[in-house]
Amino acid sequence: MAFTLDLDSSLLQPVQIGDTLAPNRIFLAPLTRSRAQADATPSDLAAQYYAQRAAAGLIISEATAVSRAANGAYVNTPGLYTDGHQRKWAEIAAAVHDAAGRMFVQLWHVGRMGHPDIGGVETVGPSAIAAKITAHTPSGPKPLPVPRPLRTDEIAGIVADFRAAARRAVDAGMDGVEIHSANGYLLHEFLSDVTNRRDDVYGGSPANRARLTAEVVEAVADEIGAGRVGLRISPGGTAADMREIDEVSAYEALLHRIAPLRIAYLHVRIDPTSTTFGALRALWPEPLVLNADGVDFCQLESFADWGAIAAAAVGRRFLANPDLIERLVLGAELNEPDKATFYAPGPVGYIDYPTLADLDEPQSA
């Protein structure tokens, strides 16, 4: 059923997100689309895809690897660690800015979710605990291997990779970066006691498990300025076989440590009715972006009305409706997302979802 947003809706009001002024509070959630080139350069179609969604208060890009070793959970996912990658991201930033939009690049290391047949690199993680998940490799589905636990002396290099990729993002003209510490990838794996059984300074206590994400946030904020840094977390999330049980303590430690930095926003993928959300909300003084799977716009509007959230990130409905904001204002029906083309190569299901204007155009014979 269509939902109409009044023009004076809280979701349509501007909000300052660090250094970026978002003209509305409906953001594009990060969405892996598996259209990048074999060398991790974004697709030639990516600029068009993102520019189509420039009416979002903020575009958050698909997850983007900080190094070759950080990639390889899914085929054809982009990176930002070569000059060629940076040039393509610069084209994307220019296209989004020309369409009057704003964009952050989401940066990740896939950790134990990587498969050597996809990324051509060894699978690593905090501890030797495999995700019981099937990877979609070029030669068919395969179980994920047991990751090699990272040595303590390797971790500074990973922090440095995040710093360098953030520098490239800003040099490419992006408005900022979002650090991906959610959904069962490397930084999340360090936070969670399900996947982190280390006995060095990166494991054990909540503060130790939070250390890697905190160090990445601190390094990236130092490199590009805190006002251009967002952080995504998914406490209690079950994505990627996390089965997280002790979901609060490491997140509390993390937020205590990074709150003084005053980064642009914290992006939380969570059930907003959970006690965890309430606990973490109370700890976070800066803008909070909520992503709640499939939650309707009426509820998101209520959260914004109460001041519980600065903005809502919307994934699948934005994927299928490049003109989502306009449709909400007009109360128009939404296109349904087509799961079959979420990760399929090529333009279909990527840049060809019709806008209302497309539907109004007379069909050629």
User: Of 106 and 127, which CB lies nearer to ligand FMN in the complex structure?
Assistant: 106
Question: Which residue in the shown chain puts its C-beta closest to ligand FMN?
Answer: 315
Is 332 one of the binding residues for ligand FMN (CB under 6 A)? no
- Candidate ranges 146-154, 200-208, 289-297, 301-309; the one touching ligand FMN (CB under 6 A): 289-297
| Whole-number Å distance between alpha carbons of 267 and 232 | 4
Is 215 one of the binding residues for ligand FMN (CB under 6 A)? no
Contact with ligand FMN (CB under 6 A) among 6, 122, 293, 336: 293
Location of structure tokens 């909000």: 15
Check residue 64 and give left, alpha or beta (phi > 0: left; psi -120 to 50: alpha): beta
User: Of 54 and 187, which CB lies nearer to ligand FMN in the complex structure?
Assistant: 187
In degrees, rounded to 5, the angle at the alpha carbon of residue 147 between the alpha carbons of residues 108 and 345 is 50
Is 86 one of the binding residues for ligand FMN (CB under 6 A)? no
In degrees, rounded to 5, the angle at the alpha carbon of residue 267 between the alpha carbons of residues 348 and 116 is 55
User: Of 9 and 183, which CB lies nearer to ligand FMN in the complex structure?
Assistant: 183
User: Of 208 and 213, which CB lies nearer to ligand FMN in the complex structure?
Assistant: 213
Segment 106-125, which members bind ligand FMN (CB under 6 A)? 106
Q: Kindly state the smallest distance separating residue 65's Cβ from ligand FMN, in Å.
A: 11
Contact with ligand FMN (CB under 6 A) among 25, 35, 102, 180: 180
The answer to whether 297 touches 4, Cβ cutoff 8 Å, is no
Strand partners for 289 = 267, 311
| Whole-number Å distance between alpha carbons of 129 and 106 | 25
In degrees, rounded to 5, the angle at the alpha carbon of residue 101 between the alpha carbons of residues 339 and 90 is 85
In degrees, rounded to 5, the angle at the alpha carbon of residue 210 between the alpha carbons of residues 220 and 272 is 95
Interface with ligand FMN: number of residues (CB under 6 A): 19
| Whole-number Å distance between alpha carbons of 262 and 227 | 7
Is 265 a known active-site residue? no
Contact with ligand FMN (CB under 6 A) among 9, 10, 32, 213: 32
End-to-end CA distance of the chain: 32
| Whole-number Å distance between alpha carbons of 240 and 273 | 22
Question: Which residues, at least 6 apart from 275, have a Cβ–Cβ distance to it below 8 Å?
Answer: none
Contact with ligand FMN (CB under 6 A) among 15, 17, 26, 29: 29
Is 298 one of the binding residues for ligand FMN (CB under 6 A)? no
Contact with ligand FMN (CB under 6 A) among 68, 136, 256, 316: 316
Contact with ligand FMN (CB under 6 A) among 291, 321, 335, 341: 291
> Which one, of 171, 117, 101, 163, lies nearest residue 323 by Cα?
101
Which one from 185, 202, 265, 353 is the annotated catalytic residue?
A: 185
Contact with ligand FMN (CB under 6 A) among 25, 26, 62, 301: 62
**Which residues are at the interface with ligand FMN (CB under 6 A)?**
29-32, 62-63, 106, 180, 182-183, 232, 269, 291, 293-294, 314-316, 342
